[in-house]
Structure 1
């Protein structure tokens, strides 16, 4: 198969590379092909942030900057974009960029191995906030640096550097000029049948290619497939990238079929929409999901990963599926034969297995809007608060009216071979008064409904106990108790 030429903008110049294998990672391309060794390989799985780089692409009349993990990002996926590594920030005369200078002034570098990744995340923050006239608070910095780990435990000076970048002389990217360059740089033809890296731009083109190449590896943000490359050493002679399909990047209002009263109350989220954008849309409708959304991996993973990829991958410890199940979401599958829709919980048939046919793709996820009296809570239990995989994920969505449960939907992760819906516990709650006794009965029901396994993250007994305890927490929060969770914890209040 023919290798597609990879083209992107770096340092204001066009970089054009031929014969790049379809499964080559961006990190390997940078370090081994371009000699850009400032970008480090730490974990090789998107967990530590040492490999962070920044990408920019047109979004309307402006540029969208995203910090991403280069270790699990396929090189061809940046075709037609602009790229910055840590070598690209200092001026020609050696003057440091504010992201770098702030780290120096605040003594933010310890052993130094993680420093390039932190600097690049700071650069992304600088472009998206400081250059847009917005302040960088400590809380914002902590949220957006959650994907960067410092093994010297020196986070305080790094967070101080983030908040002090705006106090330094302004350094601006020539965004209008770069935008013109990128618009002139039309990505190479991704739909050529003989290409090793297929990157269609329309849904019809994608479906035709999927029908013609059912053996090609589907990729979106590669936050899972990238692991198969780096950790399992798998090779893919042909890749079908869905992230450029315009229809699958859209997030639009949506109403359940036949429900005129809910006109445009919900969301239709394209499967290729980055997790950052998908969660932003969900949080706009349901602000109580903000903390849960920020704890879904680190920002660089959310910037690359897609909601559709997380759902289609079907990991039983993926956090988006319990949430979507509790929200009553359905998935729309598409092929050249047409479309079909089904509830998300019916999509999975076994461990990482689904009803998706060889010629189908997951096109979008449709999420109903909030119902009257909705009381929604999403809980993630993990060993590390930020940037960690769940031992248990539980999302409970109650529809309450006059202290009675009109309906309940409960999604759970980490407790079965697939993301699961707790139908027995839902049935127990439906129609009952919402009381401490009902919550206790639901806790016991939930513990009995699943048979989780013991693994490196938690024992089966721990998982069962946590399931019930989270229902107890749900009850307390429904009674107005907010100080019982870490979301309400403020270090300044404790120190005062």
Structure 2
């Protein structure tokens, strides 16, 4: 197994780490090779946020900052990037960064185990908002800290800290110097070795895929990382698609948008929300921000988990997936991509290249529902997305995607047939609900029983009908707990 030296920028200096196996995680390198023990391992699956670090990438002459989970991120993926850990924030004289100082002043730490992760998420928030002269609202803080869990303090003082950072003396990163270092690294780029392949162009990717059909393809590693940390799988050869510039693009056309397979979930959902603002809450609930900053839409689609939230949405929207190899390309509806549990039609020399999503049609009525035990940062028990076009009281077109009810993400063809071409009435919604309950045979597992899943499917169709009639009080998303409200608006003082 060949090991490539990893080079990245930390504390304004170039750092090199040699002899790193292709399947070694960033957290392991930080804690065991670089003695950065401030970064903690909590869950080992990108769920708790204790391992959060911040990556910086030069794009168009400026830095983009992303908080990510280091426990499931492969170490080689940070080659050529800038990296900040919790040890890098305070000045040499001990003066704390505003992210740290605000946590101290607001009493946001108790046992302290989760604190480094919270601080790094706050640092990412500080760079992306405070340093860009953007306000941090209570809702924004709640949204961007949803990937960090605390079992001691409670979240109110941490949310207070997020807002108080902007009131402290400003601290800035010397971005021109970091960008210059990153450009220096890029100029010294070494060829990919057979252990960790990181192509930069689409032709290079397709060539490497043809040469190494056995290589494990990775993008953000939010799922493959679990195979490493939880299933103890080892990979002698990894093919990383995240540096392929063509696959990082999101391009808009008259009738559809083409989302590159290497676009992060954050970027992909931002593009979808631009066309369909009602998807914002659904996107935020997909996962915590560090997961969305690492994971890619293409990876989510290729992985094909039956409880992945992207696929029901894309199926309901009528999305197509484009597969590429040196032999050519294939374009097929997303629901035809899957053949069984985590199985698909992808040939050994092919890669998922783009997801093509139709633009909204006039009169489109779209709702995406996620049912999970925990509101934020949790896996769906059931996901249902209904996309209907209703003209003069008749359902002229409908797409229904479902997750958590079969071995693959599925299209609810029977329920669609019940609705298509029929008047949109309460009776039609009831018949579609019955069809949904009968169409699938979901399993019972730790998240929900089969009977519960079937009942919920039908109930969600009933909810879709009510919302189409203007009912709002049935929507939990409109309920804002006092925890999230600004302390002044909530009528209480910061705790």
TM-score, normalised with respect to structure 2 = 0.97
Contact 1:7 1:187 in 2 (8 A): no
Q: Which of 259, 277, 291 lines up with 1:301 in the alignment?
A: 291
For these two proteins, the number of residue pairs brought into alignment is 486
Whether the 8 Å contact between 2:2 and 2:21 is mirrored in structure 1 is no
**Contact in 2 for aligned 1:190/1:199 (Cα 8 Å):** no
Q: 1:355-370 residue pairs with structure 2 within 5 A?
A: 355-370=345-360
Note if contact 2:3-2:22 (Cα within 8 Å) is conserved in structure 1. yes
1:423-442 alignment, distance < 5 Å: 423-442=413-432
- Structure 2 distance, partners of 1:152, 1:463, is 33
Alignment equivalent of 2:396, drawn from 406, 418, 430: 406
Map of 1:323 onto structure 2: 313
Q: Which runs of 4+ in 1 moved over 4 A?
A: 187-191, 492-496
1:52–1:300 CA contact under 8 A, matched in 2: yes
Q: Which runs of 5+ in 2 are unaligned?
A: none
Q: 1: distance between equivalents of 2:326 and 2:6? A: 29
Within a 5 Å distance, the mapping from 1:380-399 to structure 2 comes to: 380-399=370-389
SS in 1 for 2:286: coil
What is aligned with 1:259? none
Q: Kindly state the Cα deviation for residue 195 of structure 1 after the two structures are TM-superposed.
A: 2.6
Partner secondary structure for residue 376 of structure 1: strand
Q: CA deviation at 1:2?
A: 2.8
Work out the CA distance in 2 between the residues paired with 1:282 and 1:79.
29
Task: Using the TM superposition, give the Cα deviation of residue 340 of structure 1 relative to its aligned residue in structure 2, in angstroms.
Answer: 0.7
3-state SS of paired residue (2:300): helix
Q: Secondary structure at the match of 2:19?
A: coil
Deviation of the 1:163 alpha carbon: 0.6
State how far apart, in whole Å, the 2-side matches of 1:490 and 1:2 are. Answer: 52
Structure 1 residue runs without a partner (length 5+): 255-263
- Map 1:145-164 → 2, pairs under 5 A: 145-164=145-164
Q: 2 CA distance for matches of 1:486 and 1:148?
A: 22
Aligned to 1:444, the other structure's residue is in SS state helix
Contact 1:190 1:198 in 2 (8 A): no
1:451-466 equivalences under 5 Å are 451-466=441-456
Confirm whether residue 185 of structure 1 aligns to residue 185 of structure 2: yes
Once the two structures are TM-superposed, the CA of residue 466 in structure 1 deviates from its matched residue by: 0.3
Name the structure 1 match of 2:433. 443
Deviation at 1:495, TM superposition (A): 6.6
Measured after TM superposition, the shift of residue 415 of structure 1 is 0.1
- 1: CA distance, partners of 2:440 / 2:332: 23
CA offsets 1:37-94 (integer angstroms, 9 cap, x no match):
0000000000000000000001112110000000000000000000000000001110
SS state at 1:5 partner:
strand
How far did residue 356 of structure 1 move? 0.2
Name the structure 1 match of 2:107: 107
Contact 2:109 2:153 in 1 (8 A): no
Which secondary structure does the structure 2 equivalent of 1:19 belong to? strand
Cross-structure match for 1:203? 202
Please give the secondary structure, in 1, of the residue aligned with 2:389: strand
Task: Report the Cα offset of residue 187 of structure 1.
Answer: 7.2
| 1:191/1:205 contact within 8 Å kept | no
CA offset at residue 490 of structure 1?
2.2
**Contact 2:324–2:353, Cα closer than 8 Å, also in 1:** yes
The corresponding residue for 1:135 is 135
Question: Any conservation in 2 of the 1:251–1:268 contact (CA below 8 Å)?
Answer: yes
**Over aligned residue pairs, what C-alpha RMSD do you find?**
1.3
Cα distance in 2, alignment partners of residues 168 and 314 from structure 1: 45
- Which has the larger displacement, 382-391 or 182-191? 182-191
Partners of 1:404 and 1:434 within 8 A in 2: yes
Show CA shifts across 1:418-441 (max 9, x none).
000001110110011111111111
> Could you tell me which residue of structure 2 aligns to residue 64 of structure 1?
64
Question: Where does residue 335 of structure 2 map in the other structure?
Answer: 345
Distance of aligned partners of 1:14 and 1:343 in 2 relative to their CA distance in 1, 3 Å threshold: same
Distance 2:426 2:188 in 1: 61
Q: Secondary structure at the match of 1:91?
A: coil
The answer on whether the counterparts of 2:322 and 2:353 sit within 8 Å (CA) in structure 1 is yes
Aligned pairs for 1:4-403 (under 5 A) are 4-186=4-186, 189=189, 191-192=191-192, 194-254=193-253, 264-403=254-393
Q: How many Å apart are 1:487 and its aligned residue?
A: 1.0
Which moved further from structure 2: 436-445 or 39-48?
A: 436-445
Tell me how far apart the structure 2 counterparts of residues 121 and 20 of structure 1 sit (CA, whole Å).
Answer: 26
Query: Matched residues in 1 for 2:191 and 2:456: separation?
Result: 48
SS for the counterpart of 1:358 is coil
Q: Secondary structure at the match of 2:354?
A: strand
Deviation by residue 1:278-307 (Cα, 9 ceiling, x = unmatched): 000000000000000000110000000000
The residue matched to 1:92 in structure 2 has which SS? coil
Cα displacement (A) at 1:151? 1.1
